[in-house]
Structure 1
Amino acid sequence: ADSSMTAPLEPGDAVQFRLAVGDSASIIAVRPLPDTAVARNPARTTTPITSADTEGPQMLQEGDRVPAGLTLVNQASESLQIGDYRGQTLVLTFIYTRCPLPNYCPLMSKQFAALQPQLRERYGEEAQLLSISFDPAYDTPQVLREYASKYTDRLDTWTFATGDSTQVQRATELFGVSARKTAEDEITHNLTTALIGPEGRVRRLWRGNDWAPADVQQAVARVVGSS
């Protein structure tokens, strides 16, 4: 919140801070710590939940074809495959329902909630949204149904999905999502949103959270216009 707090810090310093979470999240009360106060590689103290010990599938790039056999389970406990969306334009993102940071998973869901009626009005069921949870142990279909009800009352064009850990791991690796469970049972993760064309190829990737519904709407319009 106040960039002057970092003025006395040097690269490599150990620090302590508070994370204030409200309508947005900001770091406050930063102070340096002795170098011995924290582990040199603190990320190693967390548990990976979506990265394999062996080499996983290659991360998809724009233009790559998404494996049609990637299998998930939707909020109604029904099996679905990414290939089921062939012939439709699909926008997918990754979430977990307990995410406490308003500018991470809740923001992705709010963005999709704003995008859904725009796409449905223009394209009907030919444009679909898919939110994939990378927390399958907690985000059961029932939990996803309850979560979905906070953002939409139309599940004909927006699906919430999870799956067994192997398939969820495959999905996150394909789209470059890294998620690690902490000792506090929270998940540290990055964000990826993808646009997949009717032919099943990645048309656009948005890394992070600085995209707007209008950006996706324009990209979808280009994809539909070129199909």
Structure 2
Amino acid sequence: MKQYHVRGIVVSTDPSTGEVMLDTDAIPGFMEAMTMPYKLRQPDVLSELHPGDTLTATLLVPSDPASNQEALLDEIDVIAQRQPDYKPAAQFHPLNAGDAVPDFKLLNQNGRTIHLGEFHGKVLLVTFIYTRCPLPAYCIRMSRNFAQIDKALAADPKLYAGTHLLSVSFDPENDTPKVLRSYGSGYIGSDAEKAFRHWDFAAPPQPELAKVLQFFDVGVTPEKDHTITHSLSTVVIAPDGKVYKWYPTNDWTPDQVLGDVRQLISGQAHG
């Protein structure tokens, strides 16, 4: 297969054929700028694409034009949404600095019930994901960002001791402790018991899910193809259990959150 970098804007999607209509820039070495349909290597990504979104991708083209293989679009990354704050059907109030975070209970990767209150005294970093999410710009980016943050914190004993990371799944039916442990170990780089001491992967019990999503402003809409259309929410919670900073999109960076952590811990030291 030959590989070409593609950048374009979504014109429309067709679930019946698994194709996305793209208005692409010129693809060097392959073709001029053009609007045409593309088949996806991972068709389940289609439900996460919306008209007006700007994306980059890799176009896989058969080396032998005479073969019966189709060109496929892979490694899709939405770099700009038509609506930067795209929300599914369910929308809630935005979080504000100083909001007290309820003591929600969740089931973690070890099958243990944890609650947010047990992290009081530390800076708690929370983000929302589901393990089956296929899009690099959404849950995968959140988890990669957290992995980068975790590694940076581990290099500073003071910051490491004063923080905890928590990835919360909004798909408790599928994201069982076993699934969360497998998913989490891929980002932590280890499945050892001590590997999860600083970073939990957990899901609220189904009866509590709606309350958790409402507070953290996570819109979730299950789709017919079993994917989930959702918004994003990453929260920096101060040691007193109150919201310090809220990032409702995917454009925050690990350095921004690390800056929040340093500011909070430095403030504690001078308090």
TM range (shorter): 0.7 to 0.9
Could you list the per-position Cα deviations for residues 26-51 of structure 1 after superposition, in whole angstroms to 9, with x for gaps in the alignment?
59xxxxxxxxxxxxxxx77xxx7xx8
The residue number in structure 2 matching 1:67 is: 102
What are the ranges of 5 or more consecutive residues in structure 2 without an aligned counterpart?
1-6, 21-45, 47-56, 58-72, 80-87
> Relative to structure 1, is the Cα distance of residues 87 and 189 closer, same or farther in structure 2, using a 3 angstrom cutoff?
same
Structure 1 residue 190: Cα displacement: 0.7
| Structure 1 Cα separation of the partners of residues 99 and 243 of structure 2 | 6
| Structure 1 Cα separation of the partners of residues 13 and 105 of structure 2 | 42
The residue number in structure 2 matching 1:155 is: 196
The residue number in structure 1 matching 2:246 is: 205
The normalised TM-score by structure 2 is 0.66
> Quick one: which of 74, 99, 102 aligns to 1:22?
74
Structure 1 residue 164: Cα displacement: 1.0
> Quick one: which of 85, 92, 110 aligns to 2:126?
92
The normalised TM-score by structure 1 is 0.78
Amino acid at match of 2:213: T
| Structure 2 Cα separation of the partners of residues 174 and 26 of structure 1 | 26
What does 1:43-54 align with in structure 2 at a 5 Å threshold? none
What does 1:4-153 align with in structure 2 at a 5 Å threshold? 16=14, 18=20, 19=46, 22-25=74-77, 59-68=94-103, 70-122=104-156, 123-152=159-188, 153=190
Q: Which stretch shows the higher mean deviation, 15-24 or 178-187?
A: 15-24
Count of matched residue positions in the alignment of Structure 1 and Structure 2: 193
Amino acid at match of 2:142: M
Instruction: Give the percent of matched residue pairs that are identical in Structure 1 and Structure 2.
Output: 35
Amino acid at match of 1:134: F
CA contact (8 A) 2:162 2:265 kept: no
Q: Which stretch shows the higher mean deviation, 163-172 or 137-146?
A: 163-172
What does 1:206-221 align with in structure 2 at a 5 Å threshold? 206-221=247-262
Could you list the per-position Cα deviations for residues 121-141 of structure 1 after superposition, in whole angstroms to 9, with x for gaps in the alignment?
222232111000000000000
| Structure 1 Cα separation of the partners of residues 78 and 130 of structure 2 | 20
CA contact (8 A) 1:22 1:102 kept: no
SS of 1:22's equivalent in the other structure is strand
Structure 1 residue 167: Cα displacement: 2.0
SS of 1:84's equivalent in the other structure is helix
Amino acid at match of 1:67: P
CA contact (8 A) 1:60 1:66 kept: no
What are the ranges of 5 or more consecutive residues in structure 1 without an aligned counterpart?
7-13, 28-42
> Relative to structure 1, is the Cα distance of residues 26 and 121 closer, same or farther in structure 2, using a 3 angstrom cutoff?
closer
Larger Rg: 2
| Structure 2 Cα separation of the partners of residues 24 and 216 of structure 1 | 25
| Structure 2 Cα separation of the partners of residues 197 and 100 of structure 1 | 31
SS of 1:142's equivalent in the other structure is helix
| Structure 2 Cα separation of the partners of residues 201 and 134 of structure 1 | 21
Could you list the per-position Cα deviations for residues 33-74 of structure 1 after superposition, in whole angstroms to 9, with x for gaps in the alignment?
xxxxxxxxxx77xxx7xx8xxxx8x65322111012x11111
Amino acid at match of 2:259: Q
